[in-house]
Amino acid sequence: MSRPPDLTDRPALIRARARALRAPALFLHETAADEIQERLKEVNRTFTAPAIISGFPDFWGAAFPQARQVADTDILTLDEGAHDLVIHALGLHWANDPVGQLVQCRRALKPDGLFLGVLFGGRSLHELRSALAEAEVALTGGLSPRVLPMAEIRDLGALLQRAGFALPVADSVVFKVSYQTPLHLMAELRAMGETNALATRHRAPAPRALFPEAARRYAQAHAGPDGRIPATAEMIYLTGWAPSETQQKPLRPGAARTRLAAALGTVEQGFSDQKGRGID
């Protein structure tokens, strides 16, 4: 079986991140780090061997100084069963094989170890995506891949199960960020290292009129009364545990010993189907 084509041009992504470090705008990484800290407090467990996978090790190393920093390459430098906590920090949306990344994280965990992942979800930048597509069709009559396709939350929850995690959970936080103009948004994406690093992107320079036309259409469709434009950011958080015999497991169907009505302190009532038959 042939290997599927890569989604990401890794050298281009590395160059984009290195360029971003000249004048970084990592406030979404700060938001993610704060949220992960809060979630770890709720777990109420002390982790002694954490690892963090990211493209910005200096930032995440400062946020989690006790954690081992691991580059988010296709093959992760993680030893099997070495960690009780693995965090995948805002890089999974660039993965060529997201299931493979999750499997590597799960294998790196000790039994009952915790995985926490955060990545950008499918609703992110939908305004910019639409404006760029409309502008390019109007100017050239065609489309080229310019914004990374991002996964939906329902698909990511299924990926956790496929990777073998126990008790998988996926949830999302959606918020708006406002900018003076669409061009200011594009400049900040560059400062986040989130510019176009798709393997299928056109290598020729974009038409000179493309981005001004996209900015015009963006502002026309979305600008508020003050002239500022909104940009949607969806951050999806993934949680899963390495399987362990000590974890709680659901009962087999039919194994319950107490009826729901008794647990709720109410009287159980039968109901009738469409033909009037009573059903218990």
Q: How many domains does the chain have?
A: 1
pLDDT tens column, 152-184:
888 898 999 999 999 999 999 999 999 999 999
| Confidence class for position 260, pLDDT limits 50, 70, 90 | low
CATH number of residue 138's parent domain: 3.40.50.150
Cβ-contact 217, 131 below 8 angstroms: yes
Mean pLDDT of 222-247: 93
Determine, yes or no, domain membership for 123.
yes
Determine, yes or no, domain membership for 59.
yes
What pLDDT sits at residue 255?
58
| Confidence class for position 278, pLDDT limits 50, 70, 90 | very low
Percentage of the chain lying above the pLDDT 70 cut: 86
How far apart are alpha carbons 107 and 112 in whole angstroms? 11
Counts for the chain of helices (H) and strands (E), in that order = 9, 8
Residue 32: alpha-carbon gap to chain centroid: 10
Determine, yes or no, domain membership for 18.
yes
Q: Indicate the residue type of 278.
A: G
Residue 122: alpha-carbon gap to chain centroid: 9
Determine, yes or no, domain membership for 80.
yes
Determine, yes or no, domain membership for 273.
no
Considering only CA atoms, which of 106, 102, 97 is closest in space to residue 74? 97
What pLDDT sits at residue 7?
84
Mean pLDDT of 210-218: 95
Find the domain containing 141 and state its range: 10-254
Residue 272: alpha-carbon gap to chain centroid: 45
Tell which wins on pLDDT, 158 or 261.
158
Mean pLDDT of 90-106: 95
Residue 152: alpha-carbon gap to chain centroid: 9
- pTM equals 0.85
Cβ-contact 133, 217 below 8 angstroms: no
Determine, yes or no, domain membership for 200.
yes
What pLDDT sits at residue 280?
44
Determine, yes or no, domain membership for 164.
yes
Determine, yes or no, domain membership for 262.
no
Percentage of the chain lying above the pLDDT 90 cut: 73
What pLDDT sits at residue 253?
59
| Confidence class for position 250, pLDDT limits 50, 70, 90 | low
Mean pLDDT of 42-51: 94
Tell which wins on pLDDT, 278 or 132.
132
